[in-house]
Structures are given as C-alpha cells and as structure tokens.
Amino acid sequence: MKHFLMPTLGADMEAGTLVAWRKQPGEQVHRGETLAEVDTDKGVIDVEVFHDGVIDSLLVGPGAKVPVGTPLATIREAGEQAVEKQPAEAAGVQAKGVRAATELPAAAEPAAGQPDRQARMRRAIAAAMSRSKREIPHFYLATTIDAAAAVAFVAAQNDTLPADERLLLGAVFVKAAACAVREVPEINGYWRDDAVELLPTVNVGLAVSLRGGGLVILTLRDPASWTLAALSQQIRELTQRARTGRLKASELADATLTVTSLGDRGVDSVWGVIYPPQLAIVGFGTVARRPLVVADRVEARSAVTVTLAADHRALDGHRAGLYLTAIAEQLQQPETL
C-alpha cells in the first residue's frame, strides 16, 4: 500500500487545503495522473500520483487543511488486496480531526478569492526571503558576457522554425546554467542540517512573475537533457499556465538551483535572493548592445550581465567564479546546447 501525500512545494509551504478529489476509491490510477486539487499559497494546483494502482481509501475530505507530508489517500498496487473498509477509523489515525472523505460534503468550492491569494502569496514570499536573508550568508559575483553568438543562433534557428517551435533566448540561458553545473557540481543542491547535500540532477527553478504581483518558481526538470526547442516550448506552456491557468505540483517542486531573468524589464543586472534550502541563484539581465573589446578593438555587441548569489556556508568565491565562467563558455557555443 502506498500513501498519497500532501506535497511540499518549497520551503515556504507548511500546509495545503484539499479542494476536490478527481478520483474515487476503487478507481484505477496511473503515474502522473491528477488525483486531487489542493489550494496553496501558490494558488490551486493539481497534485499527481507517483504510482500505478487502485485508490483504496481517501483519508482527507474537501475543505480540510493539513500539513505537508500528511497522507491524503492510500493506493493499492497490483496484487494487493483491498483493505477492510473502516473509513472513520482510518481517517482518525491518519489525520487527526479530519472526517473520512466519504462522510464529507462533495467538492466544496475553494474559499480562496484573488485578494486572499495575493495576500497569502505575499506572506509566503516574505517568510522564505526573510529566512534566506537571515540564515544564508550570501556572496555575489558578476560577469558581463558577449551574447552575440547566442542571439545570432536563436535568430537563425527561429528563421526556419514554425512559431510554436521557436527558441527562447531564456531557454538558452537556462540550459547554459544547467550544463555549467557539470564543471562545478557543488553549486547544485541543498544546505540542510548544517551540511551540504549535493544532487546529481539539476532541476532549474525559473522565477516567473505573475500578473498583478507575486511570483512562482517553476521547476524545469533536468533541462540539460532537453533540446532547446523542447525547453522553450515547456517554458512557454508553464509560464502561460502559471499566469492564467493552473499548475501541477510536480511543476513547482524539487528545484535545485534557481534562475531569474529580468531581461525583459530592461534592467542591467539582477542580484537574487537564494531560495532556501538551495545553494545559489543565477541572474540574467537585459541583453543589450554594449561596447565590448573584441580582438583589441571596441565593438558594439550584444551582451548580458550574469550574476550569481551563492551560499558561503556551502562554497567559496573561487568555485563560484568558475561556475560563472562555465556559463559564459556554454553561451559562446550555443549550437552545442
């Protein structure tokens, strides 16, 4: 028997409210399918299941607010027998004070109005960012990179591609940041319990501002393994859903390194605040024509200032500098990305 849990969507999430079940006991579910809708500080999200099986019982009913990690349902895997149904007892054991789903009214509408969501999101951002600045000894590095190769590459590719397969310069930046981790693996992971926990896969958290205020960090899973076209498509789709639709829990969880890009807003550089428990945040400013020295001559070139804020508990300036250099090298060879 597997438990289906209230997901955690980052250090700033403590609890979520079950809005509705999409499946009922006895129904077959497949890995990746949405099982429940949950209201969080990041809006209502769809929570997917990670196992194939049959829903055995629902332990929490619509309207219940429970801490992250609380079992919401049990799932029988192939070959397992149905458990004797004692919903009231089961619910009592699994989540104190929560009545069994079967006894609760069906799908109550979420109480979360727009102003309320805004206020809750503000509080969640305030909590995470205050904790970051309180606990993480940030240090900062920057470098201005010749972006002509990346800009020309994207333009040349897009000239021949249909609109929905075109590349985003932002996708090139994300992939360069992910691939550069190969050179400096100690930038990717978490600081937990007074120790560094490095992770083998880079899941890039992409900061996306929301219309009307607030932001979410979208999770791009292992972008180093994606083509730039597929990554661009994913960024377009997730950004649109973050701003006007709905996201899935897996699209907001498990980021290991954050990238923020304020290039569209015309700023030269952005100095990020690390999202705990991550170790670093990479910032891309506006790509603009700037005087650069090329072969001992001053030329007008497309350039971008890339910054890094890193956790000094976990790594030092020398390695962090090598990481920024590695990003710069990746961006000089966009065709290898």
Q: How far is the CB of 169 from other proteins (least distance, A)?
A: 7
Q: How far is the CB of 301 from other proteins (least distance, A)?
A: 20
Q: How far is the CB of 167 from other proteins (least distance, A)?
A: 9
Complex with other proteins: residue 105 or 162, whichever CB lies closer: 162
Q: How far is the CB of 210 from other proteins (least distance, A)?
A: 11
Complex with other proteins: residue 119 or 161, whichever CB lies closer: 161
Binding site for other proteins (CB under 8 A): 155, 158-159, 161-164, 166, 168-170, 209, 211-212, 232, 235-236, 239-240, 243-244, 263-265
Complex with other proteins: residue 272 or 277, whichever CB lies closer: 272
Complex with other proteins: residue 133 or 265, whichever CB lies closer: 265
Q: How far is the CB of 116 from other proteins (least distance, A)?
A: 17
Complex with other proteins: residue 111 or 155, whichever CB lies closer: 155
Q: How far is the CB of 211 from other proteins (least distance, A)?
A: 6
Complex with other proteins: residue 170 or 334, whichever CB lies closer: 170
Complex with other proteins: residue 38 or 147, whichever CB lies closer: 147
**Cα dihedral sign, 156-162-165-171:** positive
Q: How far is the CB of 125 from other proteins (least distance, A)?
A: 19
